[in-house]
């Protein structure tokens, strides 16, 4: 007997209940696999938050200076001071302090508490001075290219001279040395501009700069740091 194609090729209907049970089992399996990952991520986040909080309390409450606070400062921006409400970051201050301590340790037999405090004040002074210098240079459109900085660095700190050996000493920062070179070049160019404009007068550039620093609104955030 002739059969209609729809009757000859009937399509079975899907078992919805079986599909639902399979989906639920898969969902439960996926959830079970995710739970350890979620717990691990949660605990990792709590540990990281605790380390950051401890570092902040240590920096601002107890003046900690260690690898933990230094490492955290590269992840979390911690201000060490503000100049006209512009931040000087703790990581920059700490890098300069570590550099100063390494240079001092290389040049002397050691440091005691009083001398380290003096180095902290020196590092803060340099950070503020450099910030104001760069701000003034930017306002006068004074720029220093990297090539003369690199050339002078190679000339001063390569070879077997005492200065070159100092640059290779543990803790001495090549970045800080290059920054100091760039700042000296900025100061020289600023001096030339001021002299040409008749703004410098009888003053030397350092005296002129120190006066400009004193005119700024500087707030120190770290306890016990006494700038000179």
Digit-coded pLDDT (tens) for 142-157: 999 999 999 999 998 8
Residue 62 lies in a domain: no
* Confidence check: pLDDT of 16 > 50: no
* Confidence check: pLDDT of 213 > 50: yes
Closest CA to 93 of 218, 187, 194: 218
Closest CA to 68 of 79, 53, 55, 56: 55
What are residue 219's DSSP bridge partners? 82
Same domain, 111 and 23: no
How far is it, in rounded angstroms, from Cα 60 to Cα 226? 14
- pLDDT of 136: 96
Confidence class for position 9, pLDDT limits 50, 70, 90: very low
Same domain, 102 and 165: yes
- pLDDT of 106: 78
Residue 8 lies in a domain: no
Same domain, 148 and 52: no
Same domain, 42 and 87: no
Same domain, 214 and 156: yes
Q: What is the mean pLDDT of residues 117-146?
A: 91
Order of strands across the sheet with 218-220?
86-89, 79-83, 218-220
Question: What is the total count of domains within the chain?
Answer: 2
* Confidence check: pLDDT of 130 > 90: yes
How far is it, in rounded angstroms, from Cα 49 to Cα 52? 5
Same domain, 101 and 183: yes
Same domain, 21 and 87: no
Same domain, 32 and 106: no
Residue 69 lies in a domain: no
Residue 3 lies in a domain: no
34-76 pLDDT tens trace: 565 555 666 666 666 666 666 566 566 556 666 767 777 677 7
Residue 110 lies in a domain: yes
Same domain, 48 and 106: no
Q: Which domain holds residue 119?
A: 78-220
Same domain, 90 and 152: yes
Same domain, 28 and 117: no
* Confidence check: pLDDT of 12 > 80: no
Single pTM value for the model: 0.70
Same domain, 29 and 141: no
Say what percent of the chain tops pLDDT 90: 33
Q: What is the CATH number of the domain that holds 208?
A: 1.10.4030.10
Under DSSP, the state recorded for 10 is P
């Amino acid at each position: 007997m002739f059969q209609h194609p729809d009757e000859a090729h009937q399509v079975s209907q899907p078992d919805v209940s079986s599909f639902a049970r399979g989906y639920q089992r898969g969902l439960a399996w996926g959830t079970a696999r995710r739970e350890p990952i979620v717990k691990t991520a949660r605990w990792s986040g709590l540990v990281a938050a605790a380390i950051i909080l401890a570092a902040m309390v240590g920096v601002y409450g107890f003046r900690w200076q260690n690898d933990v606070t230094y490492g955290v400062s590269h992840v979390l921006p911690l201000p060490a001071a503000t100049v006209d409400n512009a931040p000087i970051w703790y990581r920059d201050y700490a890098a300069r302090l570590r550099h100063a301590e390494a240079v001092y340790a290389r040049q002397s037999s050691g440091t005691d508490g009083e001398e380290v405090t003096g180095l902290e004040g020196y590092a803060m002074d340099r950070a503020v001075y450099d910030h104001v210098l760069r701000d003034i240079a930017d306002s006068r459109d004074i720029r220093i290219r990297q090539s003369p900085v690199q050339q002078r660095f190679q000339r001063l700190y390569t070879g077997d001279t005492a200065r070159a050996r100092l640059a290779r000493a543990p803790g001495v920062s090549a970045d800080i040395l290059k920054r100091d070179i760039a700042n000296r070049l900025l100061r020289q160019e600023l001096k030339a501009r001021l002299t040409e404009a008749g703004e410098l007068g009888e003053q030397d550039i350092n005296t002129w700069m120190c006066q400009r620093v004193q005119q700024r609104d500087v707030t120190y955030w770290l306890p016990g740091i006494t700038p000179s």
